[in-house]
Amino acid sequence: MIEKKEVQHIANLARLRLSEEEEEAMTQHLGQMITYINKLKELDTTGVPPTVHAVEMPNVWREDTPCSGLSSSEVFQNSPAMQDNFFTVPKVVK
């Protein structure tokens, strides 16, 4: 079973602020998930091939054909601001 202290630590790492009720609910939910995972570990999977996806799906490949790129005027045509062939944006770092 997971403890409330562990939920608080996980929430802190995820930069989440949880109320007391949310912490209690998350403790219960995470505990249920861990119980379920432990139950799955009890299954005998001998002879079962590992799978990446539950349903076999073939990859759809296409030819990689080179094509011409966009010109500078095409790249910047919808840009609100540019300078010396660069997008200009408001400064976000102090």
Q: What are phi and psi of 87, to 5 degrees?
A: -70, 140
- Of 26, 2, 25, which is closest to residue 14 (Cα–Cα)? 26
Residue-level pLDDT, tens digit, the chain, 94 residues = 799 999 999 999 999 999 999 999 999 999 999 999 999 999 998 998 888 777 888 888 989 999 999 998 899 998 888 888 899 998 888 8
Query: Regarding the domain delimited by 4-41, which CATH topology (the fold level of the hierarchy) does it fall under?
Result: Histone, subunit A (1.10.20)
DSSP at 66: -
For position 38, what pLDDT does the model report? 94
Judge contact between 18 and 7, C-beta under 8 A: yes
